[in-house]
Amino acid sequence: MSEQVRIKREAETREAAARPKMWKPSQLLPEVKEEPGWRFRWVRVHSRGQDDPTNITAKLQEGWEPVKASEHPEVQLFKRGNERFPDSIEIGGLLLCKTPVEFVEQRNAYYQQQADSQMNSVDNNFMRESDSRMPLYKERKSTVTFGKGF
C-alpha cells in the first residue's frame, strides 16, 4: 500500500501559500497625490553639488510654486531640508512644485503654436523651390467612373 504524505496543520499558513514577491526597481521620486486643478512637477534646484538658480528662477517666473511638505505627508519621509525653500520637498536636487492646470494648458498651446509656425516656415521654404514643370509635391486625386455597359 502507498502511504499518503500529510502536511502538518501548522505548516499550512498564508505565507506558505502566498505567491513569491517580485523584485521591482526602486523609484527615485515618490508618487504625489494629485489635487484637482493642479499639476505637479519636479524642478531642478541643483545638480552635482552646484546650485542652478537660473532654472529654478525661470520655473518660478513661469508660475511654478514649491509644494509645502505639510500638504503632502506621504512624501515627507523622503524630504530633505532646503535653506532657500524651508518647508518644501526636495529629493536629489529636485524640488516638488505645482502650478494651476490653466497655466499648463496655456504653456502647451504656446509651444504648439511655436511648433506649427516652424513647420509652416519649413513647408513654405520647401515649396518655394517647386517648379510647375516638375513639382515637389503634387496633390493626387483619383476618381472612379462606372462604365456604360457593353
Three-state DSSP class for 14? helix
Asked, for residue 99, whether it belongs to a domain, the answer is yes
Q: Over the stretch 14-49, which tens digit does the pLDDT of each residue have?
A: 665 667 788 878 777 888 888 999 999 999 998 888
> What is the Cα–Cα distance from 126 to 122, expressed in whole angstroms?
6
Cell of 133: 514643370
Asked, for residue 61, whether it belongs to a domain, the answer is yes
Instruction: Look over the chain and give the mean of its residue pLDDT values, rounded to a whole number.
Output: 80
Q: Over the stretch 76-105, which tens digit does the pLDDT of each residue have?
A: 665 555 567 888 888 888 899 999 999 999
Q: Give how far the C-alpha of residue 22 lies from the chain's centroid of Cα atoms, to the nearest Å.
A: 25
Q: Which pLDDT value is given to residue 123?
A: 80
**Is the pTM above the cut of 0.75?**
no
5: DSSP letter: P
Q: Which domain holds residue 42?
A: 38-121
Asked, for residue 112, whether it belongs to a domain, the answer is yes
**Whether residue 139 has pLDDT greater than 60:** yes
- As for how many domains the chain has, the answer is 1
Asked, for residue 126, whether it belongs to a domain, the answer is no
